[in-house]
Amino acid sequence: MSHAQLELQIELSLDSFQLAIDYNFDQQVLGVFGPSGSGKTSLLESIAGLRKTAGGRIAYGTELWLDSTCKHFTPPEHRSIGYVPQEHLLFPQLNVLQNLCFSPRSHQSKRLAELCELLELQPLLKRRVNQLSGGEKQRVALGRALNAQPKMLLLDEPLAALDSSLRRKILPFLIRIKQHFSLPMLIISHNPIELQLLCDQVIALRQGKIRHSGSALQVLSAPEFHNASTTTSGFENILPVEVCAQSAHSTRCQYGPLRLIIPHTAARIGQSLRIGLPAQQLLIATQAVSGLSAPNQISAQIQKIEGDSSRKLVTLSVATELPPLVAELTHESCQTLQLKIDQDVYLIFKSSALHVYA
């Protein structure tokens, strides 16, 4: 689906470098990725109109928000942007319901009931902000932004402040928001899973400049960002699959022409799921192996080998119509196996290594 175009030509002096962004975007979700201190939050604040010193041109559809050549600046209250900063910034003097209805634009919104259901806010409405957990604050902040009827949503690391179990809980809410409101979004994230699950395009910033842009997979597997994207749990391949058979202990899924066995998941036959396959959990064998406990074995061809002297990221194509998968190996195993570009290999993984997302 095509969206109104967001034109970004932003120049802004930051403490130690210049933010210089020139990018046009017309899909639904743009991911902004990059090491901390690369200018991501400043970019979002410039779009929201909170950085008065930003120069250049920002336009969204037919609206002009900034044009420093003719000294045009639309103040933040007239941009109708839903901004969800990293620290939630809920109003502490108000309860949850008052926070949700804070915006003057929320009065004519018929969305409140819908949002309460979507974000499961009903039991929280009477609570004070300091009685909420991190995940609850995040949901309220999302609800407050959406109830103000925004034309665009800016999310600054929506899951960063949450621990991994909470992340797994909030991520489905973000996916629901993406599907439910056809609203353009910009998401700052360090998390490869989030970026792959949510974003149509990703830009990677370093020192205020766009270093890479493209699909999440293309950007995240760029060697320059390898370390940034694999600091905690490592790179994770995200595969959209369709459930095709259920047995007592496992679920069978169709992924393109491939059949995968995943841990048993309560899902209907025909239901779409997204599964996460951590790059560190992928084994590479140079020939087919029999008598293995791991049930998934697929043939693949090596496209790229990148990385440093300790870790290597191997990009493999598994079927012509599917995006490549990324496996992480030690430098040593790469050498022992004598892996080369275009070599045919087998990818092996246990079903228990897979994560199942909504």
> Which residues contact other proteins by CB under 8 A?
48-50, 75-77, 79-83, 85, 87, 89, 91-93, 102-105, 130, 144-145, 148
Which CB atom, from 5 or from 80, has the smaller least distance to other proteins?
80
Beta-ladder partners of 205: 210
Whole-angstrom distance, CA of residue 166 vs CA of residue 251: 25
For residue 135, the minimal CB distance to other proteins (Å) is 17
Q: Tell me which long-range contacts 132-135 makes (C-beta under 8 A, separation of at least 24).
A: 132/90, 132/96, 133/166, 134/161, 134/162, 134/163, 134/166, 135/162, 135/166, 135/169, 135/170
For residue 154, the minimal CB distance to other proteins (Å) is 9
For residue 187, the minimal CB distance to other proteins (Å) is 16
Contact 339, 313 (CB under 8 A): no
Which CB atom, from 45 or from 200, has the smaller least distance to other proteins?
45
For residue 19, the minimal CB distance to other proteins (Å) is 18
Whole-angstrom distance, CA of residue 173 vs CA of residue 77: 26
Q: What is the radius of gyration, based on Cα positions, of the chain?
A: 22
Which CB atom, from 132 or from 277, has the smaller least distance to other proteins?
132
Nearest Cα to Cα of residue 145 among 193, 191, 185, 117: 185
Amino acid of residue 172: P
For the chain, the residue count is: 358
For residue 105, the minimal CB distance to other proteins (Å) is 5
Which CB atom, from 91 or from 223, has the smaller least distance to other proteins?
91
Helical spans, DSSP H, in 28-83: 40-48
In which order are the strands placed within the sheet that holds 344-349? Answer: 283-285, 344-349, 296-307, 311-317, 325-330
Intra-chain end-to-end CA distance of the chain, in Å: 22
For residue 186, the minimal CB distance to other proteins (Å) is 13
* Alpha-carbon distance values, 27 to 10, 152, 322 (Å): 19, 12, 21
Which CB atom, from 86 or from 271, has the smaller least distance to other proteins?
86
For residue 142, the minimal CB distance to other proteins (Å) is 13
Which CB atom, from 77 or from 344, has the smaller least distance to other proteins?
77
Which CB atom, from 22 or from 87, has the smaller least distance to other proteins?
87
